[in-house]
């Protein structure tokens, strides 16, 4: 599976930084580190949306257009809101809400954008939170149809619009992963490639030189077991160097 780590270099203490700073270790020392009780790592993960999605609904002639995007910073979220406003400049309201993982310190914002307080932005944010997703921004654009919906009608319409667009986008699981650079002889490539594919490990394209160099992204909670398996499969002839960590889409 080809891919790259997203959000590399996330905030917080890095329990493997000492290994990186020493420029790599033997496979045995890496196995000891990742499997030891003292440094046992639990899975750190969260759900987010796949990418841009859009849905539409009509309620008493008012048209609600919900747009959703994957974002990782407030700047990206606000840029997305600005983009949607520019696409629908004649709309009466562009209500928005977003939720950010922010290194495990959640950031949540919303705006009613002229709708009665509590009837628009908060229902959109509630829909995001009920779906269990973060690093997500939703903008619901409303074209007024001439019939007042009342507070409960507005709340229901904005909530349903946000729920629909989240469902349309779908979700993915992001897991804290560590990059490892593997260097090994050509004769080991087939066996290692099969091992990594069986374990559904994300790989970047290989580099072929005097040896094969392969960069992989491994959920930190699984790193010890994988390194042990690589060590066994190559009779300890694979050189393994740990690299940066970040969140990775494991699907």
pLDDT on residue 246: 84
Quickly list H helices, the chain. Answer: 17-21, 27-35, 74-87, 121-130, 150-169, 189-198, 223-233
pLDDT on residue 177: 87
**Which pLDDT tens digit goes with each residue over 201-237?**
888 899 999 999 999 998 888 888 888 889 889 888 8
Residue 179 CA, distance from chain mean position: 16
Query: What stretches in the chain show pLDDT beneath 70?
Result: 1-41, 250-251
**Which pLDDT tens digit goes with each residue over 60-76?**
999 999 999 999 999 99
CA–CA separation, 166 and 164 (whole Å): 6
Q: Which CATH architecture has domain 17-43+174-249?
A: 2-Layer Sandwich (3.30)
The CATH number that domain 51-169 falls under is: 3.30.230.30
Sign of CA dihedral 151, 157, 163, 169: negative
* Residue given tokens 């004769």 in the structure block: 187
Q: CA–CA distance from 73 to each of 22, 27, 131, 244 (Å)? A: 32, 36, 20, 20
* Residue given tokens 């650079």 in the structure block: 181
pLDDT on residue 104: 86
Q: Furthest-apart CA pair in the chain: how many Å?
A: 74
Q: What is the pTM of this model?
A: 0.75
pLDDT on residue 223: 84
CA–CA separation, 146 and 58 (whole Å): 12
**Which pLDDT tens digit goes with each residue over 92-105?**
999 999 999 998 89
Sign of CA dihedral 221, 224, 228, 233: positive
pLDDT on residue 166: 95
Q: What is the residue extent of each domain of the chain?
A: 17-43+174-249, 51-169
pLDDT on residue 32: 67
CB atoms within 10 A of CB 205: 8
Same fold, 17-43+174-249 and 51-169: no
CA–CA separation, 156 and 173 (whole Å): 28
Phi, psi at 195, each rounded to 5°:
-60, -45
CA–CA separation, 59 and 205 (whole Å): 49
């Amino acid at each position: 599976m080809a891919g790259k780590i997203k959000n590399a270099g996330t905030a917080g203490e890095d329990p493997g930084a000492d290994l990186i700073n020493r420029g790599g270790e033997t496979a045995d020392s890496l196995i000891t580190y990742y499997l030891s009780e003292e440094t046992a790592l639990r899975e750190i993960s969260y759900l987010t949306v796949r990418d841009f999605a859009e849905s539409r609904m009509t309620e008493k002639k008012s048209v609600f257009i919900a747009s959703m995007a994957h974002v990782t910073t407030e700047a990206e979220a606000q840029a997305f809101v600005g983009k949607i406003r520019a696409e629908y400049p004649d709309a009466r309201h562009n209500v928005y809400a977003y939720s950010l993982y922010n290194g495990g310190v959640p950031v949540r914002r919303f705006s009613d954008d002229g709708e009665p307080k509590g009837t628009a932005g908060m229902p959109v944010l509630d829909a995001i939170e009920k779906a269990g997703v973060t690093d997500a921004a939703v903008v619901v654009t409303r074209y007024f149809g001439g019939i007042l919906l009342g507070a409960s009608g507005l709340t229901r319409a904005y909530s349903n619009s946000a729920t629909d667009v989240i469902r349309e986008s779908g979700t993915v699981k992001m897991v804290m992963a560590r990059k490892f650079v593997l260097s090994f002889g050509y004769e080991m490539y087939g066996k290692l490639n099969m091992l990594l594919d069986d374990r559904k490990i994300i790989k970047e394209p290989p580099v072929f030189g005097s040896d094969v160099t392969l960069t992989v992204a491994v959920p930190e909670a699984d790193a010890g077991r994988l390194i042990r398996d690589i060590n066994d499969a190559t009779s300890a002839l694979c050189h393994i160097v740990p690299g940066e960590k970040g969140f990775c889409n494991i699907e």
